[in-house]
Amino acid sequence: SHVNLVNFVGYSLSELELVKRCLHVIVVYVELDKQNEIVKQFKNMYTEINIDNTLMTTFLDNITPCNDADFEFIKGEIQKGEIERAITQLNRGKAPGPDGFPAELYMCFNKELSDLMCAVLNEGIKQNNMHDEFYEGIINLLYKKGDEYELNNWRQVTLMNIEYKIFAKVLMNRLEKILDKIINEEQTCGIKGRSMWDNLCIIRELITNKHLNESGFYILALDKKKAFDSISREYLWAVLERYNFPDVFIKMIKLLYLKSTVQVKVNGKLTEKIDICRGVKQGCPLSAALYVLAINPLLTSLKKEEKLTGVYVNSELNKYVVSAFADDITIFIKNQDELNTVFEHFKTYERTSGASLNQSKTEAVWIGDDGENENINIELKKEIKILGIYINNVNCVENNWSNWNISYIEKIELIKMFILSKLMFLSIVFPPPEKTITALNKLCIKTLWGNNREVTKRIFVYKSRENGGLGAFEIGDKLKISYCKHVNENIEKGSKWIGNKMDWEKIKCVKRRKIVILLNC
């Protein structure tokens, strides 16, 4: 029988014994064996693979090179001001690299270190080499999802030395000025002025306006194997050259990856050093930018593909075929033929870049009238998760809010922050009618309990936390109090629009007691 060798990262012996009961699993739990097996797998993962250079040349033909003038500002030696800026951009409270020097040290001595670092980095660029410690990193394994005993389900985050991060940040600050001109609008990761909310809002509008796509469509969520770690560097350098990046800038980026080595931390102990010959480092300031550059030719080829009819938002002028946030790629297709076309493009991309698609984990959801969808050879689900949001054919809003797994106290705080804050502005001018108040109170109770029945009387829900309640409130009363409080303030300062003060005084007196109680919630 087939035996899967599962790499255990950090669990107790009792948990191991449970897993060993499975006949098809061998668990490695001797400490040295764990390290050796993990090193073996990482060496396989990070060894450069052969790519199809002829096919790569053809595949990259869809790239439109930039003008030399677009790259003028990314040439030249590194300046002291760039070093100082990069140091101020470092994140505090983060784990240091192998040398143990934290970002706070560089921030504290920014002025003193920037001259020295500027000279060292420029000399390294001239010599096309940095000192060995510059390239060293430590990989921490962070669990993602799935089988915890499977190494592939752990994210690899590389802790680099701060001087490496400063150099990478300097290059990133130069690169980000040109990225929006190079990267397709469908890609939103790492581009100034774009965010993942753009992707999600496009999907929301597609579902809201699905009548514009009469035949319906599939939303395809693609799953890629080790997306950041698998990119061929030969392919990456070819992409940069095809976009017409200056040789000196490509040389500086290559310098970051010249002789990279890492050690993996396994249960507090470091493995032997492993050479990293492909991929971009998760944890490096440049990694997201380099990855979106690497995958952009694929997005371009999908966008230009005439066999992919795409879907429309608002009008036939706004057509979408693909949407991406880094390696989270969403594609909109109509039928099996279009799915086959998508897979053909990915096969070409795999052969040229070294990346691979996990077709068995790729999911799709149908958007349109039930019964009108053509069957496709991929797992079809009632809902899929894209960038943390659940997407389905009906009730997207209700399902996302009801599935939100947060505490009751957190829900009440969110109601105060996002619902109440929006309504307060209007309620100062127009107090809400009773019909609206009833609907709002129902909405808040629905948000609080989800699809479950109310587990306690509302009188306890509305009590303060000091008195054993949840500190909630009737949102209608809150809005009325907001209105009355504003009236009271204007009566006291004698505002001219008050007119007959006696009429307003009645409102003030009737609501005074509730004002005191509710404003203290």
Average pLDDT over residues 440-453: 74
Confidence of residue 104 (pLDDT cuts 50, 70, 90): very high
Angle among Cα 390, 392, 395 to the nearest 5 degrees reads 90
**Is residue 508 predicted with pLDDT exceeding 60?**
no
Torsion from C-alpha of 156, 158, 159, 164, nearest 10 degrees: -170
Count helices and strands in the chain by DSSP H and E runs: 20, 18
pLDDT tens per residue across span 399-440: 665 565 666 676 777 677 667 777 776 777 767 788 887 887
pLDDT tens per residue across span 132-180: 899 999 999 888 877 777 877 888 888 999 999 999 999 999 999 899 9
Phi, psi of 277 (to 5 degrees): -110, 0
Q: Among candidates 200, 145, 503, 217, which has minimal Cα distance to 374? A: 217
Judged by average pLDDT, the poorest of 88-97, 100-109, 153-162 is 153-162
Contact 323, 264 (CB under 8 A): no
Q: Which helix (H) or strand (E) holds 399?
A: helix 396-402
pTM for the model stands at 0.72
Quick one: CA dihedral 371, 377, 383, 387, positive or negative? negative
Q: Among candidates 163, 168, 171, 166, which has minimal Cα distance to 75? A: 171
Contact 158, 284 (CB under 8 A): yes
Highest mean pLDDT (candidates 77-91, 200-214, 362-376): 77-91
Q: Among candidates 294, 348, 260, which has minimal Cα distance to 59? A: 348
Measure CA of the first residue to CA of the last residue in the chain; give whole Å. Answer: 64
Residue 361: the pLDDT is: 77
pLDDT tens per residue across span 171-193: 999 999 899 999 999 999 989 88
Contact 471, 460 (CB under 8 A): no
